[in-house]
């Protein structure tokens, strides 16, 4: 497992995102698909996001990204969707006609955190530090 280091943090935060084109139109084909992939890579590099894996389909995008602690999932998507929509419409005018209102992407997205540490491992780690209290899920160290 690879951890990243900040000034006062050690972390490994990974998100899996899926977002779709507005009305699920099949517009991510050919040059548009290639350019969309390039733009997402550029956004990730610019905002200190480590793109671990991605996939572009005709009507949706998958992205597995590692983010620093100061960047939330919603900020990642705001940057990726906003920049890619704007740039794709500048380069491909036909998208502007089809996607009126300046939006290529549908509202909303799917996001799940990904990692190598399971909730069971975290529970065992926390429980190993103190004696269990009957029926209490939050324990304190003895004074």
What is the C-alpha separation between 27 and 58, in angstroms, rounded? 6
At residue 62, the pLDDT reads 93
Angle at 93 between CA 25 and CA 49, to 5 degrees: 70
- pTM of the predicted model, to two decimals? 0.82
Could you state, in order of their start, the residue ranges of all structural domains in the chain?
4-127
Under CATH, which number does the domain 4-127 receive?
A: 3.30.70.1290
What backbone phi and psi angles, to 5 degrees, belong to 65?
A: -135, 145
Cβ density class 2-12: b for 16+ within 10 Å, e for less: eeeeeeeeeee
pLDDT digits (tens, 9 = 90+) for 59-96: 999 999 999 999 999 999 999 999 999 999 999 988 88
At residue 46, the pLDDT reads 95
At residue 134, the pLDDT reads 60
User: What's the Cα-to-Cα distance from 40 to each of 77, 78, 129, 140, rounded to whole Å?
Assistant: 10, 12, 43, 45
Q: Quick check: 132 pLDDT over 60?
A: no
Q: Rounded mean pLDDT of the chain?
A: 87
Q: What is the mean pLDDT of residues 29-44?
A: 95
């Amino acid at each position: 497992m690879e951890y990243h280091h900040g000034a006062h943090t050690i972390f490994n935060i990974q998100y899996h995102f899926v977002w779709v084109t507005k009305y699920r139109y099949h517009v991510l084909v050919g040059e548009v698909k290639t350019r969309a992939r390039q733009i997402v890579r550029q956004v990730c590099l610019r905002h200190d996001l480590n793109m671990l894996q991605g996939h572009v389909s005709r009507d949706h995008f998958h992205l597995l990204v590692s983010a620093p602690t100061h960047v939330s999932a919603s900020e990642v998507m705001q940057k990726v969707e906003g920049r890619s929509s704007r740039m794709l419409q500048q380069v491909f005018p036909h998208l502007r006609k089809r996607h009126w209102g300046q939006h290529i992407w549908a509202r909303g997205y799917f996001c799940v955190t990904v990692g190598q540490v399971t909730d069971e491992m975290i529970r065992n780690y926390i429980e190993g530090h103190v004696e269990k209290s009957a029926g209490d899920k939050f324990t304190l160290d003895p004074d």
